[in-house]
Amino acid sequence: MDESKLIELLTKFKDEIKQDVNLKFKEMSNLLEEKFTQLKKSVEVHENKISFLEREWRRQDIYISEDFSYETRAKRKELFGPMVEARKAGKIAYIRYDKLIIKEPSDKFIGSKRMLESSPKFQEVNKKENKRHKTEVKQLARSFSTRDISHFFRDGSDSDGSTSQSSKGNRGRKRED
CA-based R_g, the chain, Å: 35
pLDDT computed for residue 12 by the predictor? 79
Query: How far is residue 52 from each of residues 13, 14, 42, 46, measured CA to CA in Å?
Result: 14, 13, 12, 10
CB 62 within 8 A of CB 48: no
CB 67 within 8 A of CB 73: yes
pLDDT digits (tens, 9 = 90+) for 68-121: 788 888 999 999 999 999 999 999 999 988 899 999 987 665 656 655 555 555
pLDDT computed for residue 173 by the predictor? 56
Q: Is the whole model's pTM more than 0.75, yes or no?
A: no
Over 60: is that where the pLDDT of 147 sits? no
Residue type for position 159: S
CB 43 within 8 A of CB 52: yes
pLDDT digits (tens, 9 = 90+) for 157-172: 555 555 555 545 555 5
pLDDT computed for residue 103 by the predictor? 92
